[in-house]
């Protein structure tokens, strides 16, 4: 994967952590005005005001957004708060309408990011402007797809780009609406130097009670801001009622978060350096042990090949998973971590044994 170097005018150009707040959906002009009033009353003025104008719903018949009419209501936000407006665009027509209505920033939703054709059409519609664009991660954990969407906007001359981390679909993890998979936004920031990544705890948790915890984790991981869905009467919201908060609660959440981030020039203490050196040494030992383990696996593969035994033996695999997971839990390692670790090791073991079988059988090469 190619590295992306920092560009002088990269990002959204906002100072400090970027806070984006507003309703999941613009419903009425009265709703928009009341949210603005309560934001002012609670002294919580975000960096940007978000509002869903077009809503991509899973099934027909749900509220799919108020449409272009709602963009006219954004003048209410400018009057009360005097901050930039951002809306989601799902196709080229949306992008063109947003431009005509002087939207300050647009974002591409997760359901659109998965479709390179749709992303390219939106990029082409925005070509020749300098409008900032934010791109949510695709619904599935595909880093290349996420980066590819950002690259399409960069390729048409748009450099004011940011990514939004809203989590990934996972049918087996019921703790979240969308599993955060923190390694993905961290890896994006590593391969694309200077890329701002804004966390969307509302969509990750799917319920208002867990927003603070996820938002703090995002700051701990060094992400660049938060997008939090905010409504004057969340329980009566026309979409995603469970995950929206009032402006008063938004204020409480932001006040509770530790936004402190170490300066890049700040030197670690000698104690921290000692601990890091200890970790480096243990990592070297782990790699040596893994090398020895896979050397034994290669011998097992040779034995299976000579005696015509199958690579995968379910009883043995079940015993390894259960016994090693139990030992790990007894050593204060989480069950989830142990299972993921063992799956990775097992997958590599099977690949090595299958490679030996192919090498011994010309037909399978």
Beta strands of the chain (E only): which ranges? 18-22, 48-50, 85-88, 105-108, 133-136, 161-165, 196-199, 225-229
Looking at the chain, the whole-number percentage of residues with pLDDT higher than 90 is 70
* Range in 100-104, 173-177, 179-183, 217-221 with the lowest mean pLDDT: 173-177
- Over residues 36-61, the mean pLDDT reads 92
- For 298-349, the DSSP string reads HHHHHHHHHTT--S--HHHHHHHHHHHHHHHHHTT--HHHHHHHHHHHHHHH
* Range in 141-150, 228-237, 246-255, 338-347 with the lowest mean pLDDT: 338-347
- For residue 90, pLDDT beyond 70: yes
Q: Give 231's DSSP letter.
A: -
- 18-256, CATH topology level: TIM Barrel (3.20.20)
- For residue 14, pLDDT beyond 70: no
Q: Give 104's DSSP letter.
A: S
The strand pairing partners of 117, in sequence order, are: none
d(CA 87, CA 287): 47
pLDDT tens digits along 255-306: 999 987 655 555 678 888 888 889 998 999 999 999 999 999 989 888 888 8
| 175-183 contacts at long range (C-beta below 8 A, 24 or more positions apart) | 176/204, 176/205, 176/206, 177/203, 177/204, 177/205, 177/206, 177/207, 177/243, 178/139, 178/203, 178/204, 178/206, 179/204, 180/204, 180/214, 180/217, 181/141, 182/217, 182/221
> Domain residues of the chain, as ranges?
18-256, 270-364
137 and 113 Cβ atoms separated by less than 8 Å:
yes
pLDDT tens digits along 126-158: 999 999 999 999 999 999 999 999 999 999 999
Q: Give 243's DSSP letter.
A: G
Does the structural domain 270-364 have CATH classification 1.20.59.10?
yes
Please give the pLDDT value at position 230: 98
Determine the length of the chain: 365
- For residue 164, pLDDT beyond 90: yes
Instruction: Using the CB atoms, write b or e for 81-97: b if 16+ within 10 Å.
Output: bebbbbbbbbbbebbeb
Q: Taking the model in full, what pTM does it have?
A: 0.78
């Amino acid at each position: 994967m190619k590295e992306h170097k920092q560009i002088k005018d990269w990002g959204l150009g906002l100072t400090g952590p970027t806070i984006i707040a507003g309703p999941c959906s613009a419903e009425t002009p009265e709703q928009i005005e009341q949210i603005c009033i309560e934001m002012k009353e609670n002294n919580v003025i975000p960096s940007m005001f978000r509002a869903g104008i077009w809503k991509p719903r899973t099934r027909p018949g749900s509220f799919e957004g108020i449409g272009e009419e709602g963009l006219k209501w954004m003048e209410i936000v400018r009057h009360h708060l005097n901050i930039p407006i951002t809306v989601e665009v799902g196709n080229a027509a949306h992008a063109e309408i947003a431009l005509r209505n002087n939207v300050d920033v647009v974002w591409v939703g997760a359901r659109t990011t998965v479709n390179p054709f749709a992303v390219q059409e939106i990029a082409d519609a925005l070509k020749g402007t300098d409008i900032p664009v934010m791109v949510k991660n695709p619904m599935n954990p595909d880093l290349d797809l996420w980066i590819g969407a950002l690259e399409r906007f960069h390729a048409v001359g748009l450099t004011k780009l940011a990514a939004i981390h809203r989590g990934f679909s996972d049918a087996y993890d019921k703790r979240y609406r969308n599993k955060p998979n923190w390694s993905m936004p961290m890896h994006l920031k590593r391969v694309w130097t200077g890329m701002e990544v804004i966390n969307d705890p509302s969509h990750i948790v799917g319920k208002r009670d867990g927003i603070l915890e996820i938002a703090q984790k995002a700051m701990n991981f060094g992400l660049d801001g938060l997008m939090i869905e905010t409504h004057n009467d969340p329980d009566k919201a026309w979409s995603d009622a469970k995950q929206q908060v009032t402006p008063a609660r938004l204020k409480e959440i932001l006040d509770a978060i530790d936004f402190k981030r170490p300066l890049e020039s700040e030197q670690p203490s000698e104690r921290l350096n000692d601990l890091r050196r200890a970790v480096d040494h243990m990592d070297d030992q782990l790699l040596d042990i893994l090398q020895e383990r896979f050397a034994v696996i290669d011998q097992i593969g040779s034995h299976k090949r000579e005696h015509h035994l199958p690579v995968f033996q379910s009883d043995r695999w079940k015993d390894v998973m259960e016994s090693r997971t139990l030992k790990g839990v007894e050593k204060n390692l989480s069950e989830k971590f142990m299972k993921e670790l063992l799956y990775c090791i097992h997958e590599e073991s099977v690949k090595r044994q299958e490679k030996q079988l192919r090498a011994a059988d010309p037909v399978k090469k």
